[in-house]
């Protein structure tokens, strides 16, 4: 008995082969394609997402927007040809590519829908950026970066993305918050993935809630990737835990950009534990004075940790009464984190750790006869 194959069987086989080829191509995209010559062919406006994906994988991408551009000369060095949407029907172009390399087809990408991702970059250094943050940057079309989002080469983490510096400095907001939100929303409404890269955590004095609201009001999908807050990470980098059993079971994080009101200071002193001030260097004197007037003992340990996680990080340790003078003599500036409370004594233990070394120009203070005011760096 002779088995007869219908004319509809062959397309099934071809489809199976096509699926296998596309699976192999997908594997390639997950690997390092650095330097691999790839030609993406398709009508203008339909190939951008495909081009970006291969380019970010390291491939050397060229684009052909019409069948006439797919010539033997143009394909001479191509190792992978990608036909997008209608280009699958460019018979002559497909034959030309197939004579030189592997050819795969891809459907026209869905109409782009923009989104916003708020990413907390942590207190400094690429190693403190979360894996979720790294992935978000790799997918970004636009990155709006803060001054304190110090993760190194943002362009390398977000290849092909538009990087916009919207960093703010004390007393100087080159790009006002309202404009930042407008840029974020406009780019996302244009179909782009916008990453708002922020120092520390987006929700800790980072105006993240306002930016989430702006995205939601514009009807945009929005997600938030948490980051290590400088309120905890920076003191920790100097050996100062914000809590310790038997010493402090509570810590309060306060924005120091304005002086404390008397009732606020009294509440902080009454609560006890550890007080951490962010953005407070220009108000160091009034902040310490307010706590003292509210009844906090003058010999309460206090510290400034300057430029947390930077190569030139240093700690200036004294007391509530002495810290402003010590910081002034050391020329301490922003960005710095101020810590007040008994936990600051732990920095003396940190200074004795194996591998610790002091730096020149230290400023001496004292707590119960112990020498403080030391300037330390972080030993990896």
- State the catalytic residues: 146, 168
Residue 269 CB neighbour total at 10 angstroms: 19
Distance CA(376)–CA(374), nearest Å, equals 6
């Amino acid at each position: 008995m002779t088995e007869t194959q219908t004319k509809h069987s062959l397309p099934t086989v071809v489809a199976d082969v096509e699926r296998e080829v596309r699976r192999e191509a997908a594997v390639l995209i997950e690997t390092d394609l650095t330097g691999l010559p790839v030609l993406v062919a398709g009508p203008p406006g339909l190939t951008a997402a495909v081009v970006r994906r291969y380019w970010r994988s390291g491939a050397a991408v060229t684009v052909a927007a019409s069948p006439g551009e797919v010539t033997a000369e143009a394909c001479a060095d191509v190792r992978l040809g990608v036909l997008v949407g209608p280009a699958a029907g460019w018979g002559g172009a497909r034959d030309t590519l197939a004579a030189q390399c592997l050819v795969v087809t891809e459907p026209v990408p869905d109409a782009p829908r923009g989104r916003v991702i708020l990413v907390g970059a942590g207190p400094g250094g690429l190693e403190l950026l979360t894996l979720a943050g790294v992935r978000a940057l790799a997918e970004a079309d636009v990155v709006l970066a803060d001054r304190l989002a110090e993760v190194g080469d943002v362009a390398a983490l977000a290849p092909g993305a538009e990087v916009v510096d919207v960093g703010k400095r004390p007393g100087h907001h080159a790009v006002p918050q309202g404009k930042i939100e407008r840029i974020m929303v406009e780019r996302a409404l244009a179909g782009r993935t916008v990453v708002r890269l922020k120092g520390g955590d987006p929700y800790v004095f980072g105006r993240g809630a306002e930016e989430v609201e702006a995205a939601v009001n514009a009807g945009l999908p929005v997600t938030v990737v948490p980051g290590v807050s400088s309120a905890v990470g920076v003191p920790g980098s100097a050996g100062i835990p914000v809590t310790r059993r038997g010493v402090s079971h509570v810590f309060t994080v306060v924005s120091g950009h304005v002086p404390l009101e008397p009732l606020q200071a009294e509440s902080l002193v009454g609560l006890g534990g550890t007080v951490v001030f962010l953005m407070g260097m220009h108000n160091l004197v009034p902040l310490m004075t307010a706590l003292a007037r509210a009844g906090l003992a003058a010999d309460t340990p206090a510290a400034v940790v300057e430029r947390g996680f930077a190569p030139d990080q240093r700690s200036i340790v004294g007391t509530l009464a002495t810290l402003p003078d010590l910081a002034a003599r050391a020329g301490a500036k922003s960005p710095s984190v101020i810590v007040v409370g008994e936990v600051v004594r732990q920095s003396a233990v940190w200074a004795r750790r194996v591998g610790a070394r002091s730096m020149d120009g230290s400023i001496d203070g004292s707590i119960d006869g112990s020498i403080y005011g030391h300037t330390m760096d972080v030993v990896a």
